[in-house]
Chain A
Amino acid sequence: MILAWVHDVVEGVRSCLTGMRTTGHYLLENLRGSGGATAITREYPEQPAERVGARQRGHLVNDAPRCIVCHACDTACPVDCFTMDGERDADNKMRASRFDIDLSKCIYCGLCVRACPTDSLSMTPAFEVDPRHDGSRFLFRRSSGQLGQRLDAPDVERLQRLADQPRESLAAADRAWLDQHIDPNGPHLIGMYGLGYFTPEQKQAADAAREAKKRAKEAAAAAAKAKAAAAAAPPPAPPPPAGGTP
């Protein structure tokens, strides 16, 4: 029994000393400083954040000019964080007129990036979101009622301009306008990426051009049809009686 006691005490002391040797090793290494130090701290705010690799998923951004509004991302997204509108431009190609990503919902899973056929969606390594640094990537909180509101380029400019001023110094009209468009307590954190891709004039022009094209196409089709009808000698079968079933 005494031997067991002695063994326990001695082993206890020895193992504690072993532990202290291990920590002492770290202690000395790190107190000595850079040489041989095992401290792996990155002093983030002072030093820039580490960019580990190109695949890093810091933030989701959409390169709006390349987006064709195919909704592939929308379909692939498990959380439905996209809100997008598309418009046809002069060449009858789809372009994003609005592409919002609710960053408060986004789970950075990358499924949309994999689904994107034009590679317009991508994950950036940067995770800091600074609305003041990049106007094309702008974050607002909005309430659900405001989600449906459409902001055009001048609106966004106005939003950005007013953003840098303290609220107290704003005119009442401006303040009201803002309250109408964003809500700091709103649940949706919306990154407005492709905002205002069309100015109203551009949109009008594009619509007009597309309309003209469509009309021309229809006219051509009608002409072709008429020609074909004229060419076909036997008259078509009699139409079914009106009303379908008696």
Chain B
Amino acid sequence: MTRREGPGDAFDDRIHLTAVDEFLAWGKEHSLFYLLFATACCGIELMQAGGPRYDVDRLGMIPRATPRQADLMIVAGTITHKMASRVRTLWEQMGEPRWVVSMGSCANSGGPFSKWSYSVLNGIDKYVPVDVYVPGCPPRPEALIDGVMALRERVRRYRTLGERSTEPHVVAGHEAPFGARCQLPPPDAPAGDGGRA
């Protein structure tokens, strides 16, 4: 499908393409299946978020065990060097469009282990592009939902048919004032023996 370029194109504003795109984005926004991927403490809070009290199913989010069917990877917990390439593999196995939420200090920056640990990766953003960082150690489930709401803002602007948006990263549950495109690290991650398998 071709699309006319140019910011001031009145055709763009009216034609169904945008409307359809908007509709598709609406669908994506309300149906963010997340990958059941929990490594550490934050994983428990992720479970609690899926539990009766916070119930992310309410927002159309259900956990999927396989990355193929997931739209959202919530990196919940510490990622060690040994694990990091697996995270990358999992992320690669997810189908586009895909999003990543980094949950908690460990995934954001290594958190408590950033200073003295010899085995912890200092921030998962070295391996996968992160859309939303949720601070906390671990974040309350509500904080996670707050981050997810910020992500949904971002999903809303995702264009399936038109030009892909170049949105900045989101910081701390809210969008960074300024940002560049997310830059992927070089895919040097060793394949290992099957991240998920």
Contacts and interface: CB of A to CB of B under 8 A. Distances in A.
Interface stretch (A9-17, A43-51, A113-121): A43-51
Given A45-B149, A141-B176, A189 B53 contact: no
Given A140-B177, A184-B171, 7 more contacts: A40-B52, A79-B105, A103-B135, A103-B172, A104-B111, A130-B174, A159-B177
Given A43-B58, A45-B145, A127-B139, A104 B105 contact: yes
A103 B52 CA distance: 29
Interface stretch (B20-28, B68-76, B157-165, B178-186): B178-186
B95 interface: no
A127 B183 contact: no
Interface string B98-125: 0000000100111110110000001101
Contacts of B59: 45
Contact of B109 (A127, A167, A188): A188
A104 B109 contact: yes
A98 B180 CA distance: 27
Contact of B142 (A44, A105, A106, A164): A44
Interface residues of B, number: 42
10 contacts: A45-B145, A45-B149, A58-B143, A104-B108, A105-B112, A109-B137, A127-B139, A141-B169, A184-B169, A189-B171
Interface SS, B side: loop
A91 interface: no
Contacts of B109: 102, 104-105, 187-189
